[in-house]
Amino acid sequence: MEKYNQVCVWESTICPTEKSKEFEDFMKSEYSIRVKFLEQIMTLPDVKNGKAVKDTGDRADVLFAIHDGDIKKFAISRFKMEPPVRWVEDVLENMADNMIYPEHVREYMTW
């Protein structure tokens, strides 16, 4: 995906793969940005003392890549979205002790 290097995480957002084109069109029309849908992930449960915490996990989060040329204009507007969209690197950094995503999500990091 040349020119789509920054991956974003939109937590608590549902978009099945079969709706990826609609998602990309929505982002273009609502926020004037070009994106490529990557996947919807169901989060893993929180872990405390080596055990899964009851009633955690199973939240749908959407991961998408934004076109390099649109990053600057989206950098501020992403905070106005509900919930705010975050860079994958920031999300993963905050999960250092409690990873709630499958390990392959680390491959999306670019910095």
Write out pLDDT tens, residues 14-39. 999 999 999 999 999 999 999 999 99
Q: For 84, list phi and psi in degrees, rounded to 5.
A: -60, 145
Is the residue at 12 inside a domain?
A: yes
Is the residue at 25 inside a domain?
A: yes
When divided into structural domains, the chain yields a total of 1
Give the pLDDT mean for 50-64: 92
Q: For 7, list phi and psi in degrees, rounded to 5.
A: -95, 140
Is the residue at 76 inside a domain?
A: yes
Q: Write out pLDDT tens, residues 3-14.
A: 999 999 999 999
- Backbone CA torsion sign across 90, 93, 95, 100: positive
CB 88 within 8 A of CB 108: yes
Q: What CATH number did the domain enclosing 20 receive?
A: 3.30.70
CA distances 37 to 41, 97, 108, Å, are 12, 27, 13
Is the residue at 1 inside a domain?
A: no
CA distances 95 to 13, 18, 50, 99, Å, are 19, 29, 15, 5
